[in-house]
Structures are given as structure tokens and as C-alpha cells.
Amino acid sequence: MQFGIFSVGDVTTDPTNGTTPSEHERIKAMVRIALKAEEVGLDVFATGEHHNPPFVPSSPTTMLGYIAAQTKTITLSTSTTLITTSDPVKIAEDFAMLQHLADGRVDLMLGRGNTGPVYPWFGQDIRQGIPLTIENYALLRRLWREEVVDWEGKFRTPLQGFTSTPRPLDDVPPFVWHGSIRSPEIAELAAYYGDGFFANHIFWPTSHYQQLIGFYRQRYEHYGHGKADQAIVGLGGQAFIRPKSQDAWNEFRPYFDNAPVYGHGPSMEDFTSQTPLTVGSPQEVIDKTLTFREHFGDYQRQLFLMDHAGLPLKTVLEQLDLLGEQVVPVLRKELESMRPAHVPDAPTHESLKAARDAEAAVEEPAEEARV
């Protein structure tokens, strides 16, 4: 089971004092948060991809490459890589390069994003979102797995004898998660290829995600990748933690009430009762996170959103201390004790490489026998 954090990289005014960080300050803060995540023992740091204010992470691999140079253990990922508006050739090369720089500590989450105007900014039609996803991902897979690619599709110019460089580290492509909050077509895509499926899980009620994840699990088994409960599932979540529950509620309320995404809507009480948002003590975060397994089954990755809504860097770092020292160790122990032996861990570069080598070892004697 992997635990980590994801950031959308928003530049938001702190409602308690009216200060707004500069883009430079926010970018540097995201780096500091990633380093802190490794320091407190988390497994994953993931950044979003946005191309519009008030967000700063327009070039995830640039940021992750910089973080890779300053870390040793943490897996570097994305909470969205725009498969619809980014050229799959560029994705293939950027993430293979990042793999080499990070010695394999890389995976990525593909998605369509939540900003409609990004499509025309990059010459695409939002009405083709699903077809773009399917075609671009099929090409991306081939670019990572075939040294020379001839290809022709609907949405980009053909490729003739093309080799993506650099090649994936150890000839093992980065593991891919497909992120979606609403589209069964994306769950189907993840299941078809045997990839991971990540449900953001931070805005809609539990019943919605139960249907989406349940569908993915069924289709994963249908395509022969394993039993439904062996499918690779990731979940998002939100938390604000203080040693005392009431202190957490009092401190976080102005940030919640004024947040660009969910402020001026349901009350914090209603939102915490209907979504994964947990505001309270470490034990309350533990207790609520443990219910996710009851709703969705055993899963492989839990990412928390903790640096949004204008929270100052100091506060975010304090949150990570509490998460890493008091919450995650208990969750690791509890969830591991409940997980059946046949449910796999989250894929890593080393585990994918070992699986590839084991498969090759089985195939080699069979080939020799036929000769």
C-alpha cells in the first residue's frame, strides 16, 4: 500500500490575512512540500498539470526532474497528465527521460483535466475528449514498447519509422494510472490494458465512486488480468489535521468557506459527511480513511490533497508531520493486516522489471523446446 500527497498547484489568497503567494513562491513551495513528503516517510508525490491561472504546474516533468535530483526514495508521479491535449510523442519522451533521471521512481496518471478551454489552446476539440484519449494512449503504449513505430490515426500526423528517445529505463515503461471522476469509458480503458484506475474521490458521494470502481474491477477481470479484487485501484482524499479536533475545525473553516473549488457551497459539516474530506485529529483521519476499504475493497494507493485553498506553507508542512508520523504508520499496519495475500502491491519500476524478467524466463525454455 502506497501513501502520498498530490497537489493541484493552485495560487490562492489566504483568507485569514489576504496575502497571495507569487507564482515563484508557490512553485518553490511545491518543491519543499515534495521534499517534506519524503522526509516524513510518504511513498508518492504527484503534481497536476494545468495551463491556466490560478495554477502553476504547466510542466510536470520539469518540476519532478528537479525534485528527483533532491530525493532518493519517493515515487514521482502526476495527478493529471493531459493525454488529450499533449502530444503522445512528447509524453513518451518526457517521462522516459524522467525515469532515467529518477532511477525508475516514476509513474504517471493520465486524464482529461477539468479545464474545457485547454482543448482549443492546444488545437483540439473538447467534443473529441474520449476518442482523443483512446487514440493517444494507444500510440503512447506503442512508443514505449516498440523501438520503431509506423502509425497513422485521426488526430495527429502519421509516424514512419519513428523511434522515441530515450527508450524507457530497462525497457520497462512507467506504470500508468487512468484518472477519472465520471467516465466509465476511462475505467474501461484502464481495465482493457490492465493499468491502474485512480478515482479522485474528493467531490462526489461514495456511491458514485463505488459504481465507477466496481465497473473497473469487473472489466479488469473480464479482460483476464486477474480477479476483480486484484485490480489496481488508487484513491484521492483530503485532510486537515491538528492534535485536537476542534482546533482543526476552527483553523480550517475560513479556508474551506472561501476555497475557489468548494467554498460558498455546502457547509463544511455537510461536505465532510458526504465526501472523504476529514477535518480533525489524527485518529479521526485514520478512522475515516479505513472506511474507504469498506466501500471500495482493498486498494493500492492513497493520495491526500493537503496544500490547497490558500493554506500557508508552514501549515502544510505541519500537516505532513502529523500525516507521516501519526496517521500513515497506523494506516499501513491496519490495511496490511486486512489485505488478502493474493491482492498485489502497487506496481513499481522494480516490480515491473522483475515480472518482465520472470515472464521471459518462462518463455525461453518453451521456445527452446519448440526448436
DSSP 104-136: T-BEEEEE--S-TTHHHHTT--GGGHHHHHHHH
Residue-level pLDDT at 69: 98
Whether 316 and 7 have beta carbons less than 8 Å apart is answered as no
Q: pLDDT tens digits for 296-310?
A: 999 999 999 999 999
* Beta strands at 149-151 and 107-111: parallel, antiparallel or unpaired: unpaired
Q: Is the pLDDT of residue 257 over 80?
A: yes
Q: Is the pLDDT of residue 366 over 80?
A: no
- Beta-bridge mates of residue 278: 239
Q: Which three cell numbers stand for residue 219?
A: 472489466
pTM as predicted:
0.94
Q: What b/e string do you get for 154-164 counting C-beta neighbours within 10 Å, with b at 16 or more?
A: ebbeebeebeb
Residue-level pLDDT at 264: 82
Q: Which three cell numbers stand for residue 22?
A: 507569487
Q: How confident is the model over 335-347, as a mean pLDDT? A: 96
Cα separation, 63 vs 185, in Å, equals 30
Residue-level pLDDT at 361: 84
Average per-residue pLDDT for the chain:
94
Nearest partner of 345 among 232, 189, 184, 266, judged by Cα: 232
Cα separation, 105 vs 44, in Å, equals 9
Q: pLDDT tens digits for 260-286?
A: 877 788 899 999 998 889 999 999 999
How would you write 73-88 as a 3-class SS string? CCEEEECCEECCCCCH
Residue-level pLDDT at 368: 61
Q: How many residues does the chain have?
A: 371
Q: How confident is the model over 231-239, as a mean pLDDT? A: 95
Residue-level pLDDT at 72: 97
